[in-house]
Amino acid sequence: MKDPMTTTQTAASISLEGLAKTFGGQPAVAGLDLSLPPGAFLVLLGPSGCGKTTTLRMIAGLEDPTSGRIRFGDRVIADGGSGLSVPAERRGIGMVFQSYALWPHMTVRANVEWPLKVDGWSAADRRARVQEVLAMLGIDQLAGRHPAQLSGGQQQRVAIARTVAPRPKVLLFDEPLSNLDARLRVDTRAELVQVHLATGATSVYVTHDQIEALAMATHIAVLRGGRLEQFGTPDDLLQRPRTAFVAEFLGSPSAVLLEGEVRGGTLRSASLGGAALAGGLDAPEGTVLTAMYRPERLVLAAAEGEPAPEAGAEVTVLEATPSAGRFVVTVAAGAAGRFSVVAEQRIAVGAKRRLVLPPAPDALFDAAGDRWEPAG
């Protein structure tokens, strides 16, 4: 008999090559290409309906791709062109669902032990491994209870323990924290990162919560309308977003986007009273561009009623929320809409302030939302 307790777990790289899925002729996922190194923690991030859960289900073997390939290391596990699809139980994966999916008639210990029994582990190895994973997740004292006797957070820990017990090479998470309250979500996501590190598996995690993504991921794939907007490390996406969508979707608070039109080499915002957003631009007259600013680089002048200078406009304070010793101030800027500025002091709701822009934006995007760079 094999000795699973002494087997070294080897994480698998994951590659998606032109991965696509259609339902009734409508594309849910359209030509995804990305390569994830072994042991990485990938978060599939995006709004509802962007294709992230469908992508996860194809990786899991719960959906077959319409076209494209999925590889674990050098092994092709799904190929839409040839119809190849390795069954889910033979892919070496573990999956944690949004619902805990625990067997109600089994104790915690029995729930965690069951997949090991199915996988052919010896009784002694099963006992040792169950004890190990229950202790790792801090629920060893609950081993004799049934799911109905547990809180939601405890049930989720049991589901995670059951998933990692067989030492899968790939761990998949389908919005596993969505049923937990805000405080428990924070605590549990930290535990999930520790589980990922302890198992050494390559992990893929689905969420629409960008705070979760930034807190947990080594790599993020931002999806929109079934297509990949950007793939990279959290720092890559925050520091150099390739599209206006990524710039606005990531960050807390998110980047401020202000649209303008080039006049005489200067990008000016009609919605901010003609304020200059960027100068010295080599772009045709009338070119529409969007300037991106990081909220901490914007300034709200202390005195009310001052005339707005070339690089500023009057805004109205809607709210001020304390954050890490500073304040996230949400303002209304007329036709420019609402956005957030990071300020050193609280500003009263309803106060009018002068918004002062830095000499140059952090990035510019064209009318299609793609990053714009000067010619040459």
Per residue in 83-119, pLDDT tens? Answer: 999 999 899 999 988 788 899 999 999 999 999 999 9
Which position has the higher pLDDT, 264 or 179? 264
Answer whether 238's CB lies under 8 Å from 248's CB. no
8 A C-beta contact, residue 12 and residue 170: yes
Distance set, CA 203 to CA 13, 67, 361 (Å): 10, 23, 36
Closest residue by Cα to residue 204 from 40, 338, 340: 40
| Cβ-contact 341, 298 below 8 angstroms | yes
Distance of CA 113 to the CA centre of its chain: 31
Would you state the pLDDT for residue 314?
86
146, two tokens: 């049934």
End-to-end CA distance of the chain: 66
Give percent of the chain with pLDDT exceeding 90: 74
pLDDT at residue 312, rounded to an integer = 63
Structure tokens at 67: 């076209």
Predicted pLDDT at 233? 96
Please compute the mean of the pLDDT values over residues 309-325 and round it to a whole number: 82
* pLDDT score at 9: 52
Q: What are the residues whose beta carbons fall under 8 Å from the beta carbon of 262, sequence distance 6 or more?
A: 268, 281, 283, 284, 285, 286, 287, 288, 289
- DSSP assignment of 182-234 equals HHHHHHHHHHHHHHHHHH--EEEEEES-HHHHHHH-SEEEEEETTEEEEEE-H
- How far apart CA 213 and CA 185 sit, in angstroms, is 12
CB atoms < 10 A from the CB of 275, how many? 23
Task: Note the pLDDT tens digit of each residue in 334-357.
Answer: 888 999 999 999 999 999 998 999
pLDDT given for residue 302 in this prediction: 67
Q: 285 and 263 in contact (C-beta within 8 Å)?
A: yes
361-374 average pLDDT score:
94
What is the enclosing helix (H) or strand (E) of 117?
A: helix 108-118
Residue 7 confidence (pLDDT) above 50: no
Would the pLDDT of 147 be above 50? yes
Q: Answer for the pair 112, 94: CB distance below 8 angstroms, yes or no.
A: no
For residue 6, pLDDT beyond 50: no
Question: How many other C-beta atoms can be found within 10 angstroms of the C-beta atom of residue 334?
Answer: 12
**For position 169, what pLDDT does the model report?**
92
Which one has a higher pLDDT value, 172 or 273?
Answer: 172
User: pLDDT grade, residue 374 (50/70/90)?
Assistant: confident
User: Of the ranges 23-27, 218-222, 239-243, 304-308, which one carries the lowest mean pLDDT score?
Assistant: 304-308
Judge contact between 164 and 171, C-beta under 8 A.
Answer: yes
Among candidates 143, 251, 138, which has minimal Cα distance to 198?
138
More reliable by pLDDT, 9 or 148: 148
pLDDT at 120 over 80: yes
The mean pLDDT value for 51-71 works out to: 97
Question: At 145, is the secondary structure helix, strand, or coil?
Answer: coil
Backbone angles phi, psi at 112, to 5 degrees: -75, -35
User: Using an 8 Å Cβ cutoff, are 50 and 223 in contact?
Assistant: yes
**Interval 267-286 mean pLDDT:** 92
| 90 alpha-carbon distance from chain centroid | 28
How many Cα atoms sit within 13 Å of 218 on the Cβ side?
A: 14
Compute the average pLDDT of residues 132-153. Answer: 92
- What is the per-residue pLDDT for 138? 87
Look over the chain and give the mean of its residue pLDDT values, rounded to a whole number. 90
Spell out the domains of the chain, with CATH numbers in brackets.
4-239 (3.40.50.300), 248-365 (no CATH)
Which DSSP helix (H) or strand (E) runs through 329?
Answer: strand 326-332
Tokens, residue 13 = 């790289």
Q: What pLDDT, in 10s, does the model give residues 183-225?
A: 778 888 888 888 889 889 999 999 998 989 999 999 999 999 9
pLDDT of residue 216: 93
- CB-CB contact of 120 with 126 (8 Å): no
| pTM exceeding the 0.85 threshold for the entire prediction | yes
Higher-pLDDT residue of 226 and 156 is 226
Q: Is the pLDDT of residue 267 over 70?
A: yes
pLDDT the model gives residue 305: 53
Q: How many CB atoms lie within 10 A of CB 307?
A: 7
pLDDT over 50 at 4, yes or no: no
Q: Which long-range contacts (CB under 8 A, 24 or more apart) does 73-78 make?
A: 73/12, 73/13, 73/38
